[in-house]
Amino acid sequence: MIKDRPLFFIKAIILFSLFDALCTDIGIKLGWVTEANPIAGAVYEWSILAFYGLKALLPLTLLLLYPVITMRRFHQWLITMTAFIYLAVSLYHCVWMVYGWYVHRLI
């Protein structure tokens, strides 16, 4: 059993966020996708390094604030749902990357 479930999910969010940044970067460079978030898209156009930093900064801030937050059931629910949404986004990235690789490999 996971001893500190919210902390586990916060760490998962950090990994999923970085995976999202990597897949988005690869997809944009290959011309398969565009960044749907206008703020992240503007940051990506300005600096790819800043884009990765932004993707890492938000969940890392949550990790740093975690020890001082009074964790309520609602907060735990939000963290858990965020992790599962990021999991779904990561699976979606895996699907389009495999599909893109398969389609472009055949051409």
Q: Tell me the per-residue pLDDT of 5-59, one tens digit each, with 9 for 90 and over.
A: 888 999 999 999 999 999 999 989 988 888 888 999 999 999 999 999 999 998 9
User: What was the pLDDT predicted at 42?
Assistant: 94
Give 43-52 pLDDT, tens digit per residue: 999 999 999 9
More confident site: 4 or 90: 90
Q: How far is CA 56 from CA 3, 46, 95, in A?
A: 24, 17, 23
Give 91-100 pLDDT, tens digit per residue: 998 998 888 7
Confidence of residue 107 (pLDDT cuts 50, 70, 90): low
SS3 content of the chain, % helix, strand, coil (to 5): 85, 0, 15
Query: Tokens at residue 89, please?
Result: 């986004």
